[in-house]
Each structure stands twice: as C-alpha cells, then as structure tokens.
Structure 1
Amino acid sequence: MPPARHRRPRAVHSLLAGASAVAIGLSGLVLADDTGAHAADTDLITNGGFETGNPTGWSCTVGAVQSTTAHSGRYALQSSPGTGDTGECTQTVPVKPSSSYTLSAWVQGSYVYLGARGTGGTDPSTWTTSPGWAQLSSGFTTGPDTTSVTVYLHGWYGQPAFLADDVSLLGPGGPQPSPSPTATASPSPTATATDPGSPSPTGSTSPTGTASPTATSTGKPPGLPKHILTGYWQNFDNGATVQRISDVPAAYDIIAVSFADATATRGGLSFTLDPALAARLGGYTDAQFKADIAAKRAAGKRVVLSIGGQNGTVWVGDSASAATFTSTAWALMQAYGFDGIDIDLENGVSSTYLGQALHALAAKAGSGFILTMAPQTIDMQSTGMEYFKLALNVKDILTIVNMQYYNSGAMNGCDGNVYSQGTENFLTALACIQLKGGLRPDQVGLGVPASTSAAGGGYLDAGTVDRALDCLASGANCGSYRPDTTWPGIGGAMTWSTNWDAKAGNPVAGTIGAHLHAMP
C-alpha cells in the first residue's frame, strides 16, 4: 500500500484569533552580545550617536533628534511612524567588496527594525519590541562588486514613536560613493521601509547583488497576463472533484501541482502520481499527465510543482541540502515539463539556504522560470519573519506570493488594527503589509479558499474577492478599511483548489478569473 499522501494543505491556527497576532513582536526579538571587531575595522556610520543635535548624515521621512532620552551622550534619534509611513531613516555607507561587517544599534519602542540593503549577498534585517533600550545586531558579507550599502532604521505602520542611538557599522572602509551619504534623497511618505530594491510601493524593481543573471527587468516571466489567477491541482482525492490537468479551466494562468514528496535525503524531492487518483480517473498515466502539462503550456499557461503543504517535511537548512533541493527540483522540472515551483512550506523555512537553492534553480531554468509562494498569514505579518525575508531575498526571481487569507483567525493590518478573516478588510489590510513591506505590486496575490469545504475558516464569496482587488488596484469598492494609496498592478488571486472550485461550480474560475482578466 502506498504511503499516505498529503490531504488538505492548510493548517488551522485557531490560537492566533483576535489581537494575539501582536505577540509576534516578542518572537522577533534579537538581543545582541557585544561583538568584537577586527583591529583594522572602523565605524563607518556618520553621526551614529546623533550628538550633532540633528540627523546630519541621515535621510529620514519624519525623523528628528531629541534630548529627552538617550542611550549614551545627550541626543538620540526619534521617529514617529504613521498609517502609511514607517518613519524610516537611512544612510548610504562606502564599503569594500567581499568583506565582513557588523551592524548594530541601540533602540527602544514597538517594532523597531535595523538592517542593510544592497549588500550583494543576504541583506540583514533584525527587529525587536522593547520598552527600554535594547541592542540590535547583525552581520553580513558584501558581494564581489559591492562598494556601498544602505543602512536603515524604521518602525512599523501606525505604531508609536521609536528611539535609536549609537548606530555602528564596523568593518573595512571603502571608496566614497556618489552621491555622498548626506545627499541621499528622502523617500516619499509612503516609501517602503523594508524594500531591498524598490523605492516606493509602486516603483520599479532594483535587484540586489543576489539577482539571477536570467531575471527579466520586472522579474515577471514573459507571456503572463497583468493579473494572474493561480489554482492548486490536487494529486489526491479528498472529496473534491477529481481532475486531470486537462480538466482545469482555461481561466487559471498558473496551475500548482500539489504536492512534491520529500526523499530520505535532506532537501531531496520526488513526485509520483497518486495511484488511487489515477484509478478514479480511469487510469491516468504519467505519459497522459505529461501530455496534459505540455498542452497547457502550449495554450500559454504555466504549470509548477508545489513543495510542502500542511504535512510537508522538506528541509533546506544548509548548503548541502540547498544543492540537493536544486538538483532534484530541476530533474523533476525536466522530467515533467514543469515551468517552476511553488513554495508552500509551513515550517522550517530558511531565507538564506532556500533562497540560495531557488536562485541556483532559476539560473538553470532561465528567464521563463516561475516561482510562486503560498505562506500563511502569520508568516507575512512582518519583514522580520523568515518567510517574508525569503520572499525579499528572492524578489528578483519571484513571480507572485499568494498568501493564504484563511485558517488564521484575526491578524494585524498595515494600519496596526486587527481584522477578522472572511472579510474584505482582512484581504486589503493584510495585503497592504506586503505591498508596503518590499514586494512589487505584481508580486502580491490574494489566496482564498474555493468553497467552505476547502478550508476550516476564512471563506469569502467571489464578489467580495473582486471588490478587494478593486480596492487595492483603484481605491474603488473598499470596505471600512481604505488603503492610503493604490496599486494598479496588483498581482492577482489564488485558490485552494481547482478541484474544490469545480465541486462548487467554478465560482473562482468563472467570476474571480473573469474579473482579474478584465481589470486594466
């Protein structure tokens, strides 16, 4: 008898109901030990203690220097985030290529972030919530062509003012960049606080040094529509309509085959058509499955292999497992004709090593590579969460993130308020976090269950999803929550699953799909 297959891929997180989402602040706490630096290292930050009495050397959206509370000396930076602004302050610093650096700062307040962008490697980001002074610290190594990095401090949307002091970047100095650190332009009030590449929520991408040489200028593979409908296809029978790939309606632009299996080797992947499903379909063979994938691709659709699900056990936590993941994923792409993969892991995500594996896979696949993700809502509440860090790490090759807006209870929106699942506000206020947290608009999709049978909670009718898409794209048809800006290039929507959609009469394909493809 074959091993048990994955069933429903969405875990129910009932303990997250209500305002408990706020507790993530403590989970991101990073308190640094004093880190010794090499004798040749110097502090590259200008005015890191703010003892000039002003933010000289820094570019801030709303930041100012105050003398009421300081970690050391007389002055410290104070910045007050707004509903559409994280109160970010940045400084661009000259560095040397292929060199190690230690970044640190003393901070105080709710959701205070410290990080660096443009390192040419894995951009560091750390954060904390602390009523008193606490030190944040992280390290990074610059890429072989990196001559400057941008250090940032910021809070979070709608949170109280935060303080920062004694900011330090220890390491070998580099040539002065042009423009100088003090000439850096201030971001707009709605600038993304944690975006490693894009200067504003609706701006174009500016890939970091980790970009694959095969990435396109927008990061979106050619041939896809502006607004994408993604659907998961079940490689098992759990009461939904059983389907061949050829049965999936043409409204679906990306079909995610669920799921790959983990092998005994860490990072290893395999895939086998479920024999019970094949029997239910009258004998669905590997050859027919591959032919159906080829036919969908010929019709302009994309088919990807989903990794994970509720019971997924794929572990990529070191260089060896990353290499195994890349080689086995690539072998399956070649064997079945998959255009790429979907990351639906619900545990054990490493932004460093899985990011490494995905970049290597994209380099093998070329410019048509499709990379989608389906994180849980808790995984995308903050840029300090590992899944969000992964999405930003692979932003240069990422097609779309279809967060699961279900099975999650209530969550924080980007305005700091708590919203309940199963409402339009839940979709728009949580999508706003990703849109202002660094992803391009075309990389943000709304993941919804196809019917009440498809998830434990969070179902919305197709009309409500359409209104949420309109609200995000144009500001029309909003609920009580209305974003302070719009994103006409919003990525699209996803559903679990094409099978449950068929069981319900295809409201996702027929209504949401038609709406997406009619949007300007």
Structure 2
Amino acid sequence: MDRQQSISRRRVAVSAVLTAAALVAVGMTAAPNAQAADLNVAKNAGFESGLANWTCTAGTSVSTPVHGGTAALKATPAGQDNARCSQTVAVKPGATYTLSAWTQGSYAYLGASGTGTTDVSTWSPGSTEWKQLTTTFKAGPSTKSVTVYTHGWYGQSAYYVDDLSVFGPDGGGGTDPEPGIPTAPAGLTVSGPTASSLNLSWSAVTGASSYHVYRGGTKVQTVTGTSATVTGLSANTSYDFQVSAANAAGESPKSATVSGRTNPGDTGPGPNPNVPKHALTGYWQNFNNGATVQKLRDVQAQYDIIAVSFADSTTTPGQIVFNLDPAVGYTNVADFKADIAAKKQAGKSVIISVGGEKGNVTLNSDASATAFANSAYQLMQEYGFNGVDIDLEHGVNSTYLTKALRQLSAKAGANMVLTMAPQTIDMQSTGTEYFKTALAVKDILTVVNMQYYNSGSMLGCDGKVYSQGSVDFLTALACIQLEGGLDPSQVGIGVPASTRGAGSGYVSPAIVNNALDCLTKGNGCGNFKPTKTYPALRGAMTWSTNWDATAGNAWSNAVGPHVHGLP
C-alpha cells in the first residue's frame, strides 16, 4: 500500500466518525433499515365472511359456538371425506411463520403444506372448550405461497375452528383490512308485545360484531344477533327504542327511533286462543316401546295438547314426513285422521312433534327452512294437525329454525299451536340456540315445556345447583325462562309420567303440583322460592300418554285437574 492511499482511507474514516458525532450532537442517530411488522397473512381468518377465501370439502360458517367475533367454521366429516378446509397464503421466501387456530368439538387437525422445507401439522383429539393449536414452519428460499389447512377425522363428529392465524412477514398478499366503524342499523321493528316485554328486530350490518339496544336513550342490552327481547317493562306503556352496531373499530350512530307499547295487563292464553289458559300436554307414541299401545281416541281426556311423536326426516334437508306405525293398531290412515278430527271436535289440539331422542332435522340454510315450513304445512293440511312441536335434541340453529317457524306460521295462520320441549341444558341461558329461538318466535309461541329429566343436576336462576327429583329443581329452572323473557303463559313443566318413562328425573304428581303452586301462588315451595308469582303459568307436560296409561293414568288424573284449577 502506498502512502497516498493510506492517507485517503484515514480521511474517509475520520469523516465518518465526525459525521456520527455531529448526528449525536443534534440528538440524532443513524437508523438501521426499517423492517415491516409481522402480520396475519391469512384472509377471512375468523370466518366472519362465511367460507370466502377458503376451499372446503364440507363446512359452513356458524354463529355458535364462536371463539371471537360472530362466526366460526363448523365442518363434519362424512364417509371418506375428512371435511378439509384450506387456503393458499402469500409468504416471504426464507421467512418463519407461526400457524395457530382455536378448535372445539371433535378431532381437529391444523397444518401447512408446500412450505418448500418441512411441512408441519398438529392436532387435537377433541374438546368441549376452545383449545388453541400452534405450530411453526419456514418457507423455502424460493417459496412464495403455502397452503394452510384444517380438517377433522373420518367417522367422527363435527369440529369447529375460529381465529386462525399465519403470523409472519408480509409475502405481498397483505392481510384483512382493519374493520371500519359500521353503519347504523336499518329496519328496526317492534313486535310481540306482552304486559312486560317487547321484541325488537333489525337488519344485519356488514362488519358488525355486536349490537347495542337503547331504550329511551339508555343502553339496556348488547347482543350478537339481529333481535332482542326487552323485558321488565310496565304494562300499557309506550317505549322508544334505537339500535347501534359495533365492532373493534367503534360504535355506529344509532338507528331511527321506533316506538312500541306493551299490553294492558294479563294477556290470558297468548298465541293460539284455542288452547286453554292452563293446559296439560302429553306426547303420544307412534311406536311400541313397551308402554301401553294407544290409539288417539284412547288418550286421557285431561290432555289439552296431544303431540304425535314423531315426524320423520327425509334426504332433503329440512323436509319432514309422517309414517303411521302399524304397531300402534290402526288398520288404515283414514282411522287415524278420524281420531284426530274427533279430538279436535272435543276441543283438543293435536300437533306433530319433530325430533325426539333419535330424530333429527337439518335446518342450516334458507332452503332447508323453506322445506321444513312447506312440508310441515302439508302435514297439517293432510292430517288435520293444529301445529308443530319442536323436540330437537341434536342441535338447533336459531337463525334458520326461526325462519322456518315464521314461514310456517304465515301459512297456517294465528291459530297454529307451536310448542317446544328443549332439554334442561338448552334453556340455561338466553344465549343458547333454543332459548334464542323461543324468544325470536315469542309472538307465535304457545308454550315451552322444558324436559326436567335425563339431565342430572343443573343451575337454577339463583345460580345454585339443584338436583333432579325435587320441587326446587322444577321451580328454580322454570324461573330462568320466566325471568329470561318468556311470558308465564309460555312456560310449562315437562316430566315423565312414570319411572319407566325416562332414565332419570321422575317426580311424583304431588311434587309437580307443589311446583305449580309455588310458581303461581307462592306456596308449596321447597328451599327455593321465586321473588314473585306467575299466575298465568301455562301448565305441565308429560312423556308420555302411553306411559301414563301404563300406570293407570295416575299422572294425568292427579296433575290434570290441578293444572285446570290454577288461578
């Protein structure tokens, strides 16, 4: 190296030092190259937009259960299909990504393929609560896209996925945009007045994750759906309501104000005036399971509502048919129809029950809702049924069941009898699908006869645990419905007619009568005593008229006159 080069290089080094010193002197530092923040490169990762951006062999976006937001993926394997959903995401070559998702239900797998390095996967054997699956992968040196996927396992039940994330450097595809503040809801309407409540409904708002309900300018509820029941109102009083939409970005302006007036006091029997104010409901078995085989004409006269059990589903989702079982003794369908007509002539309501322990009807789309309404109405016309009973024990989608029942009501008219028989777990809170359905159709609902059997211990409305077989169990669980928005005329107590009628939960007719007195009069209670009485309570239900007959009609002979003698 010659002397001149050495001097030049020293001058460059000194110049660099002086420059750095000058920056420090004025409070500045030399900045490194800026790095973009990591982000979730998956699109529609919470399934809020249905299955957009996803390719699924089976699956749908559902509103419950969800881990975050208002939707999640539900997928059910069938046959050789493991219900796989996948998405191709843009990645940065050589970058490392964290893949995660929240899962619930049956077996759930999460993985990434086409990574250009080592493909990865992880899985959960199933959980009744949300559980997070997490793994990592590295993109190959020339890999610009990777397929991430989730699936279940062959022959297993449905699995749920929500809030999936592929977290790492942006590969050029970006991420979902942050939500903007939603617009104000439109279409707010008030319906279904009782003496103490009003039903509200409105149109969905794109991007909204919840809705705030205002009464007289004060927020009284927050819900995730597009309907609400406002309770605790005064009789014969006008109220003003507004609704706003909200998400992570904020709350929308309030909707236009809509007014509604409550009814002027005790509304009597409510929907369907042909049903007595206090009614006894019994299920009639269209099969022989060891109980007394009956024809409809033999059903005890104490029963006001007779639920023919059960309709059958078809291969068309939502569609139901009725097949008279020869085991019940009818030689032809005409005699069965004649018995229905005779019961109706005697002032009874005969309805077709849908579901049961082994029955299932799929209602998860507009098409299936319409198929249900059309086929149920056809059965009403063909057989003379007064209405329907919803006894679905294998899952309810409140959105589409509500649509189906409203379509059926529009066809059948105001005299249609609509009853429900949910299990105790289905009515533990107003957030369950069954309870949401009952509230959504409150203006056309006759009675909910919750099944107080085959359930084990449950929570009462006071937050305490009560065991089957006691007056406290019957009253504390009924209180949840009575205080949760249903009118007392829409609440009944459902119990087995004998010890053989259910696996557990049988109570003597005396305990049933004590529970009825406790709820309507405030006497006959156990340790639990409601804060007020409900004189308009509809009555009681039993499974079944056949098991009742097997025991010499002891249940209906004791409970029937008591129900009909309520205030």
- Identify the TM-score tier after normalising by the shorter chain: 0.5 to 0.7
User: Which of residues 239, 242, 254 is equivalent to 1:149?
Assistant: 242
Indicate how the Cα distance of structure 1 residues 167 and 141 shifts in structure 2: closer, same or farther if over 3 A, else same: farther
2-structure distance, mates of 1:441, 1:222? 15
Instruction: Indicate yes or no: 2:205 matched with 1:100.
Output: yes
Residue type at the aligned position of 1:227: H
- Deviation by residue 1:193-220 (Cα, 9 ceiling, x = unmatched): xxxx979xx9768xxxxxxxxxxx9642
Quote the residue 2:298 is aligned against. Answer: 247
Question: Going by fraction, where is strand more abundant, 1 or 2?
Answer: 2
2-structure distance, mates of 1:151, 1:492? 38
Instruction: Indicate yes or no: 2:41 matched with 1:41.
Output: no
How high is the sequence identity, in percent, across the aligned residues?
53
Tell me, yes or no, if the aligned pair for 1:343 and 1:374 is still in contact at 8 Å: yes
Return the index of the structure with the highest Cα Rg.
2
Residue type at the aligned position of 1:341: V
Quote the residue 1:413 is aligned against. Answer: 460
**TM score, norm. by length of structure 1:** 0.65
Tell me, yes or no, if the aligned pair for 1:198 and 1:438 is still in contact at 8 Å: no
Tell me, yes or no, if the aligned pair for 2:293 and 2:328 is still in contact at 8 Å: yes
Instruction: Indicate yes or no: 2:444 matched with 1:397.
Output: yes
Indicate how the Cα distance of structure 1 residues 469 and 240 shifts in structure 2: closer, same or farther if over 3 A, else same: same
User: Which of residues 496, 505, 518 is equivalent to 1:471?
Assistant: 518
Quote the residue 1:74 is aligned against. Answer: none
| 1:42-441 matched pairs, under 5 angstroms | 100=205, 116=213, 138=224, 140=226, 148-149=241-242, 168-170=250-252, 173-175=254-256, 219-278=270-329, 283-441=330-488
2-structure distance, mates of 1:420, 1:460? 12
- Deviation by residue 1:96-153 (Cα, 9 ceiling, x = unmatched): x756266668xxxxxxxx76489xxxxx975xxxxxxxxxxx36499xxxx953579x
- Deviation by residue 1:409-431 (Cα, 9 ceiling, x = unmatched): 00000000000011100000000
User: Which of residues 525, 533, 555 is equivalent to 1:508?
Assistant: 555
Q: Give 5+ residue unaligned stretches, structure 1.
A: 1-22, 45-92, 106-113, 119-123, 127-137, 153-164, 180-196, 206-216
Tell me, yes or no, if the aligned pair for 2:184 and 2:244 is still in contact at 8 Å: no
2-structure distance, mates of 1:509, 1:141? 38
Instruction: Indicate yes or no: 2:505 matched with 1:458.
Output: yes
1-structure distance, mates of 2:129, 2:521? 32
Indicate how the Cα distance of structure 1 residues 425 and 329 shifts in structure 2: closer, same or farther if over 3 A, else same: same
1-structure distance, mates of 2:361, 2:182? 42
How many pairs are equivalent?
374
SS of the aligned residue for 2:410 comes to: helix
Q: CA deviation at 1:284?
A: 3.5
**TM score, norm. by length of structure 2:** 0.60
Residue type at the aligned position of 2:444: I
Quote the residue 2:492 is aligned against. Answer: 445
2-structure distance, mates of 1:391, 1:367? 17
SS of the aligned residue for 2:541 comes to: strand
Quote the residue 2:543 is aligned against. Answer: 496
Indicate how the Cα distance of structure 1 residues 365 and 35 shifts in structure 2: closer, same or farther if over 3 A, else same: farther
2-structure distance, mates of 1:198, 1:396? 13
Indicate how the Cα distance of structure 1 residues 268 and 148 shifts in structure 2: closer, same or farther if over 3 A, else same: same
Residue type at the aligned position of 1:361: L
Q: Give 5+ residue unaligned stretches, structure 2.
A: 1-126, 132-159, 165-175, 187-199, 216-220, 229-239
Q: CA deviation at 1:35?
A: 8.8
Indicate how the Cα distance of structure 1 residues 265 and 41 shifts in structure 2: closer, same or farther if over 3 A, else same: closer
2-structure distance, mates of 1:38, 1:322? 33
2-structure distance, mates of 1:518, 1:268? 39
Tell me, yes or no, if the aligned pair for 1:242 and 1:499 is still in contact at 8 Å: yes
Q: CA deviation at 1:224?
A: 2.0
Indicate how the Cα distance of structure 1 residues 479 and 103 shifts in structure 2: closer, same or farther if over 3 A, else same: farther
Q: Which moved more, 1:293-302 or 1:504-513?
A: 504-513
2-structure distance, mates of 1:273, 1:43? 48
Q: CA deviation at 1:176?
A: 5.5
Q: CA deviation at 1:275?
A: 1.8
- Deviation by residue 1:319-354 (Cα, 9 ceiling, x = unmatched): 000010011111111000000000000012111101
Tell me, yes or no, if the aligned pair for 2:519 and 2:535 is still in contact at 8 Å: yes
- Deviation by residue 1:356-410 (Cα, 9 ceiling, x = unmatched): 0101101111111000000000000011111111111111110000000010000
